[in-house]
Amino acid sequence: MSSAIASILIVDDDETVREMLRDCLVSSYRCIGVSNVKDAIELLQIDSFELVLSDITIQEASGLELCGFVQEACPSTVVVMISAMTGIDCAIESMRYGAFDYIIKPFDLNRVKLAVDRALRYQQALEEKHNYELALEERVKVRTDELRSVNEQLNQMLDRLYQNYRATLRGLARTLEARDIETRGHSDRVVAYALALGNRMGLSASDLISLEQGALLHDIGKVGVPDSVLLKPGSLTTDEWVRMRAHVEQGLRIIEGVEFLSGARFVVGQHHEKYDGSGYPNKLKGDDIHIHARIFAVADAFDAILSDRPYRAGQSYEIACNEIAAGSGTHFDPSVVSAFMSISREEWNEIRLFAQQNFGGEQEASKREIDSFILSLKSPEAAKLQALCA
Ligand SMILES: [Fe+2]
Ligand SMILES: [Fe+2]
């Protein structure tokens, strides 16, 4: 019971019965009597009662309907039916409508008191259960909020870890570039080109991560190639070529055993294979070359053609396209070439710009920025929309 004195609504069209019940109960409870179901419903909507004592047959409406209403609208209120009908069917019907008890007229007032007392104890238990559920709900809500906040912190930590891990990989790639092996920013651009191609070809998120790692580290094995070979201005002797080509196996040895770099092994180990089987070190052919390495080959060539080299200036976009098209089926996988051709010149420019601004700057791009970059490659409209709504 919510208050010290419980409230009882007495519903009976016989005034004598109402008075009798009130006189019997009023010393212990707040009692209000009404003569019909309509008034009872109106009162239940504006006042709260622990117990409804209701006749079954009340003028036009049935007390059972009132019982049904109480079940729906006031789940903490208990109903006890009163009736002159003595049949078991009537009692069963009352229970079916949700009544807690059933008293037969004419009634013994002591039995009425006992029934009311029992019903109110049950009502108190109901209310305690209800309050317990409310408290439980509140505790669950508080815990959910706490978990949400911990989850948020974890996500931020993961994002920082991701940035640190990318920064480490890029540090390795820059170490190679510092030896003048490739033009500055080559690995950043190749990563962006390879991601764009991989995304266009429907690679999964985990494949894109492996492709990114492989593209960043593709020439990691060159750290073992001596300067006299690596930086030699003229053409290489046969022995020097052997040492140069060994950078592929050396690269695989470097990343071997580093679990989080295991996805990079396809590009590192196969980035000099050619689609027609004329590449090295294993002369792999066609689909025997991993898709990451086939994608990488186009991305790497694209950047190499566009970039300035000591012996020639960077070539135009048209020349790059012609060379890539000419290599389709020999150097390159035709399906990667057609994915390359399906991306417009403007999109390639945007991708190049993104790589320079986000991968090459002092500030590492966050996972969210990279995710939205990848999303933008999927659908530029969706990404623009997302940016507007952010
Ligand atoms: Fe290489
Ligand atoms: Fe390269």
Q: How far is the CA of 335 from the centre of ligand 1 (A)?
A: 22
Residue 161, pLDDT score = 79
CA of 297 to the centre of ligand 1 (A): 10
Q: For the whole prediction, is pTM greater than 0.75? A: no
pLDDT at site 359 = 61
Residue that the structure tokens 């417009």 belong to: 344
pLDDT the model gives residue 165 = 77
Which residue type, as a one-letter code, is found at position 208? L
Q: Residues whose CB is under 5 A from ligand 2 (ion)?
A: 300
C-alpha 259 to ligand 2 mean position (Å): 23
Nearest to 267 by CA among 312, 297, 240: 297
- Catalytic residue list: 222
Per residue of the chain (390 residues), what is the pLDDT tens digit? 445 799 999 999 899 999 999 999 999 999 999 999 999 999 999 999 999 999 887 777 788 889 989 989 998 899 998 887 766 777 777 788 889 998 888 888 898 999 999 999 999 998 898 899 999 999 999 999 999 999 999 888 887 777 777 777 777 777 777 776 566 688 889 999 999 999 999 998 889 989 998 998 899 898 888 888 888 888 899 999 999 999 999 999 988 888 888 899 999 999 999 999 999 999 999 999 999 999 999 999 999 999 887 778 889 999 999 999 999 999 999 999 999 999 999 999 989 888 877 665 545 555 555 555 555 554 444 444 444 433
Cα of 220 from ligand 1 centre, angstroms: 8
208 touches 198 (CB < 8 A): yes
Q: What is the pLDDT of residue 380?
A: 43
